[in-house]
Amino acid sequence: MYKADVIRIHKHGGPEEMLFEQMDLPAPGAGQVRLRQTAVGLNFIDVYTRTGLYPGPTPAVLGVEAAGVVEALGDGVTSINVGDRVVYNGLGGAYASHRNAPADRLVRIPDAISDEDAAAVFLKGLTVWMLTFEIRRIQPGETILVWAAAGGVGSILVPWANAQGARVIGVVSTAEKAQLAMTYGCDATILASEDVAVRVRELTGGKGVPVVYDSVGKTSAEPSLKSLQPRGWFITYGNASGPADPIAPARLNQGGSLVMTRPGLFHFTKTREELERGSAALWGAMRSGAVKADVRQRFALKDAAAAHRALEARETIGATVLRP
Ligand code: NDP
């Protein structure tokens, strides 16, 4: 029987629940392939899965994104060959040296992109595609507000929105992160410790912004709403500080007929056509130079708990990759 190294939790909780274990890996079933994984993407969603904020059964191998090489094909697989380099997201069980995965959720990595870069950008880049193409298109010349602008998603959202013609105001927690956010393409930054809505009004001549990309949740929702122009879009897509409190419909009316949405990427890449459309947009943005992978932290797979501690302590910048 094939063996895989994995990071598994047996109950929800802190990083100490993440155990480095060996598991038997059966031969790939019909429609599946076996992957030797070369780089695993670290995402904040992995923290939510670990703590149980996003409920799921245990025991569970953590992680939803990785790149690797196809080692073996199950029955009926014709879309992928042994030796192909592929990447996926949205498949639980990614914190592993080897795994079986459904062939129809895998995307080939373009030759010019390394496995590590693919694992660093695939989930986060598709998230930015969802935010700026599928939910609401960026209008050239508009000024947008982006929370956690020096983080993993921020490192892609800021330059890609820039390339689509937006001026970006980024919110970050430290001066060092502010500097990095400027190199990603922010026009201005605000410290999270400041009164964000007041600073946004100052930076926009009192007008506010037409759209806020808010991944912080609990502590940022109200400042985000206060930063919007009438008919502005509150796109609340994450919970880094905890889930946002309930918002009454009347609050949206008071803000000026605001639009609120709480999207999840996996609803936008359900079909093969959607997955390929988003991937093509992301690879195209990388080919043009608009988006670059920015891997700033690397951890051995067995040290994934240390990666979680760093992510939750706001100590990471750009993207983080685990190495099986
Ligand atoms: P990041 O690298 O952006 O890390 C999270 C960042 O959030 C931190 O670096 C920190 O930046 C900021 N933050 C603010 N308050 C807190 C807090 N209390 N604790 C920890 N961090 C805080 O992570 P990812 O790029 O992996 O993900 C970014 C966000 O996008 C996450 O909220 C994630 O859930 C969301 N997401 C949502 C998706 C969807 O489909 N809806 C898909 C992908 C990601 P700073 O110190 O500068 O404030």
Tokens of 301: 């797979």
Let me know whether 63 and 173 are in one domain.
no
Q: Residue 245 phi/psi, 5° resolution?
A: -70, 160
Question: What's the one-letter identity of residue 216?
Answer: V
Of 62, 14, 57, the residue nearest 42 (C-alpha): 62
Pick from 190, 135, 119, 187: nearest CA to 159: 187
Ranges assigned E (strand) in the chain: 2-9, 19-25, 32-41, 60-61, 65-73, 85-89, 98-102, 107-108, 143-147, 167-172, 188-191, 209-214, 228-236, 259-261, 295-300, 319-323
Kindly give the distance from the C-alpha atom of residue 241 to the centroid of ligand 1, in angstroms, as a whole number.
8
> Can you tell me the mean pLDDT for 320-324?
98
Task: Identify whether the C-beta of residue 38 lies closer than 8 Å to the C-beta of residue 67.
Answer: yes
Average pLDDT, the chain: 98
- The confidence band for 106, taking pLDDT boundaries of 50, 70 and 90, is very high
pLDDT at 270: 96
Cα torsion 145, 148, 150, 156: sign: negative
CA-to-CA separations, 272 to 35, 40, 109, 130, 275, in angstroms, rounded: 20, 22, 16, 15, 5
- Domains contained in the chain, number: 2
Those residues whose C-beta lies under 8 Å from the C-beta of residue 182, and which sit 6 or more positions away, are 170, 189
Pairing mode, strands 85-89 and 65-73 = antiparallel
**Ligand 1 closest atom vs CA 217:** 32
Q: CATH number, domain at 161?
A: 3.40.50.720
Residue 308 in any domain: the answer is yes
The number of residues in the chain equals 324
Residue 95 near residue 63, CB atoms below 8 Å: yes
- The count of other CB atoms within 10 Å of the CB of residue 308 is 25
With pLDDT > 70 as the criterion, what percentage of the chain qualifies?
100
In the reported structure, the alpha carbon of residue 281 is separated from the centroid of ligand 1 by a whole-number distance in angstroms of 23
Q: For the residues 261-272, what does the mean pLDDT come to?
A: 98
Q: Is residue 71 part of a domain?
A: yes
Alpha carbon of 245 to ligand 1 centroid (Å): 17
Q: Is residue 79 part of a domain?
A: yes
Is 208 domain-assigned?
yes
DSSP 8-state code for residue 96: B
Q: Of 153, 158, 295, which is best to mutate to test ligand 1, by the most ligand atoms within 8 angstroms of its C-beta?
A: 153
Q: Are residues 101 and 130 in the same domain?
A: no
Residue 72 bridge partners (DSSP): 34
How far does residue 150's CA lie from ligand 1's centre (Å)?
10
Q: What is the pLDDT of residue 305?
A: 98
Establish if 272 belongs to a structural domain: no
What pLDDT does 93 receive? 98
Q: Note whether 208 and 234 are within 8 A (CB).
A: no
The boundaries of the domain holding residue 105 are: 2-114+293-323
d(CA 6, CA 322): 12
Mean local confidence (pLDDT), 186-211: 98
CA 84 to chain centroid, in Å, comes to: 24
Strands 32-41 and 65-73: antiparallel
pLDDT(113) > 90: yes
Same domain for 128 and 222:
yes
C-alpha 94: how far from chain center? 14
Query: Is residue 107 predicted with pLDDT exceeding 90?
Result: yes
Cα 70 to averaged position of ligand 1 atoms, centre (Å): 31
**Model confidence over 202-250: pLDDT tens digits?**
999 999 999 999 999 999 999 999 999 999 999 999 999 999 999 999 9
Q: Is residue 282 part of a domain?
A: no
Q: How far apart are CA 322 and CA 307, in angstroms?
A: 8
User: Quick one: average pLDDT of 296-308?
Assistant: 98
Looking at the structure, tell me whether residues 109 and 21 fall in a common domain.
yes
Residues framing ligand 1 (Cβ under 6 A): 43-45, 123-124, 127, 148, 150-154, 172-173, 177, 192, 215-216, 237-241, 263-265, 311-312, 314, 316
pLDDT at residue 1, as a whole number = 78
Q: Give dist(CA 42, CA 154) in Å, integer.
A: 14
Let me know if residue 283 belongs to a domain: no
Closest approach atom of ligand 1 to CA 316: 9
pLDDT in tens, 138-172: 999 999 999 999 999 999 999 999 999 999 999 99
Give the CATH number of the domain where residue 6 resides.
3.90.180.10
Strands 107-108 and 143-147: unpaired
Tell me the per-residue pLDDT of 3-38, one tens digit each, with 9 for 90 and over: 999 999 999 999 999 999 999 999 999 999 999 999
Which of 269, 232, 263 is CA-nearest to residue 131? Answer: 263
Residue nearest to atom 15 of ligand 1 (CA): 241
Does 280 reside within a domain?
A: no
Distance 155 CA to ligand 1 centre (A): 11
